[in-house]
Amino acid sequence: MKSLSRRVVLAALGGAALPFPARAATDFPTRPVRVVVGFAPGGTTDILARIIADKLHEIWGVSVIVENRPGADGIIATNSVFQSTPDGYTLLMSTNAITITPHMKALPYDPIKDFEPITIVGQEYHHLMVTPELPVKTVRDFIDLAKSSRDGLTFSSAGPGSAPFLAMQRFMDAATIPHMVHVPFSGSAPALQALVTGNVQAMFSSPSTTLQMALAGKVRIIGVAGPARDPNVPDIPTIAESALPGFQSNTWFALMASSKVPPEILDKVRADAIHAMHEPDVRKRILTAGSSPVGNSAEEFRKVIAEDMEIYRQVVAKIK
């Protein structure tokens, strides 16, 4: 995951220099636009979708409605967009789960052929967190406890098609932990609530969902799955420096559309979405939410998708 993470960070840092695509000659939109989210309200995907939707509402002068359709690792929402009229009025707020699920189950759509990339809105390195009652302070403590647990420690996620779920699987493999018990939820927010209440013992998550709970002492961060420490929690070491050299894991959140949307409408959506992503107030809101704003081009996003498809093909094959 290292090369992917570095590439996305560079896009986030240098994105302001990207030229905006030429705006297409079209009067789109003339009525409300839906942004379908495959996870529950309050999670990272939902938060970032609402930030970009607010700005597109300002640009377009029509309502931009976020519609939550959680379940099946984002497949329900993705399929609803695939089956919708391809007129640009139904967009998808996806995550890199769209590059994971094809390797785990048969799908009614092809994520490469049936969807067009618009732009990555944000990306985040995962935090490894535990419930405060768990008697561990470091990643090494957690690994030792997990290995010695007879029944296996429990962990939550937004589902087996989510990047945080695969982060835990990759973590277990790297740390040679033989067994943990997965408890899936319909989104990252309910998965976090299960950790807060002590119904599960650990989880990987995007910091935009969980950072405030951690700062309030409701959960404990023990490691950061990035190449450097998170400036929001500078005292927490990376997993790479504390236990597993080279370990990284992240999630991106992005706008996509049906590949059957007319080119002139797709061009306008892309131009306006990238324009929105480079507005200072949008980038500030994304940073405040705990995510890193990106706003890259469709071509750059397409490369991320292709590379992630291969990365997760290998990861899922190894887990199976």
Q: What is the mean pLDDT of residues 113-119?
A: 98
Give the residue, 312 or 119, on which the prediction is more confident: 119
Domain 127-242 in the same topology as domain 2-124+251-319: yes
pLDDT computed for residue 71 by the predictor: 84
Q: What is the mean pLDDT of residues 266-278?
A: 98
Q: Mind listing the pLDDT tens digit for each residue in 28-69?
A: 999 999 999 998 898 889 999 999 999 999 999 999 999 999
- Domain positions in the chain are 2-124+251-319, 127-242
pLDDT computed for residue 320 by the predictor: 67
Q: Mind listing the pLDDT tens digit for each residue in 197-237?
A: 999 999 999 888 888 999 999 999 999 999 999 988 999 99
Burial of 95 (0-12, 13-18, 19+ CB in 10 A): buried
Domain 127-242 in this protein, CATH class: alpha beta
Question: Of the candidates 135, 185, 124, 133, which has an alpha carbon nearest to the alpha carbon of residue 155?
Answer: 185
Q: How far is CA 231 from CA 43, 163, 212, 235, 290, in A?
A: 21, 22, 14, 9, 11
Q: Mind listing the pLDDT tens digit for each residue in 187-196?
A: 888 999 999 9
Parallel, antiparallel or unpaired: strands 154-157 and 115-125: unpaired
Q: What is the pTM of this model?
A: 0.79
d(CA 67, CA 257): 15
pLDDT computed for residue 19 by the predictor: 47
Q: What is the mean pLDDT of residues 69-88?
A: 94
Q: Are 81 and 36 in contact (CB under 8 A)?
A: yes
Q: Mind listing the pLDDT tens digit for each residue in 168-177?
A: 999 999 999 9
* Residues sharing a CB contact under 8 Å with residue 283, sequence separation 6 or more, in sequence order: 277, 293, 295
* Residues sharing a CB contact under 8 Å with residue 182, sequence separation 6 or more, in sequence order: 154, 155, 156, 157, 160, 165, 168
pLDDT computed for residue 311 by the predictor: 85
Superfamily of domain 2-124+251-319: Bordetella uptake gene, domain 1 (3.40.190.150)
* Residues sharing a CB contact under 8 Å with residue 242, sequence separation 6 or more, in sequence order: 138, 139, 140, 223
Q: What is the mean pLDDT of residues 98-127?
A: 95
16: confidence class by pLDDT, cuts 50, 70, 90: very low
- What is the average pLDDT score of the chain? 90
E strand map for the chain: 33-37, 64-68, 90-95, 115-125, 127-130, 154-157, 181-184, 202-205, 220-224, 250-258, 292-293
40: its two tokens: 């529950």
* % of the chain beyond a pLDDT of 90: 76
5: its two tokens: 């993470």
Q: Mind listing the pLDDT tens digit for each residue in 176-187?
A: 999 999 999 888
Q: Is pLDDT at 10 greater than 90 in this prediction?
A: no
Q: Are 254 and 19 in contact (CB under 8 A)?
A: no
Q: What is the mean pLDDT of residues 83-100?
A: 96
